[in-house]
Amino acid sequence: MSIFAQQLKEAMRINRYSQRFVAEKLHTTQQTVSNWANGIYEPSLEQLILLCEVLDVTPNFLLGYSDYE
């Protein structure tokens, strides 16, 4: 599993957000978020920025360069 997928799962766990909730906030599907969380795909740069806003984390956290803030 990718670092991104692990960090995404951790941020969602800490925030108590479901894949469905994140998908709705990003105007995407739950399957897309599931694919990210399982390391199948990674989001586009635009989606990454929006994801950081929703999860209240930095891109560095999701990419594995820093700890949870």
User: In the chain, where are the structural domains located?
Assistant: 3-62
Q: What is the DSSP string of 5-32?
A: HHHHHHHHHHHT--HHHHHHHHTS-HHH
Architecture of the CATH domain 3-62: Orthogonal Bundle (1.10)
pLDDT for position 1? 79
Using pLDDT thresholds of 50, 70 and 90, give the confidence band for residue 68. Answer: low
> 3-56 pLDDT, tens per residue?
999 999 999 999 999 999 999 999 999 999 999 999 999 999 999 999 999 999
**With 70 as the cut, is the pLDDT of residue 69 above it?**
no
What's the pTM value of the predicted model, to 2 decimals? Answer: 0.91
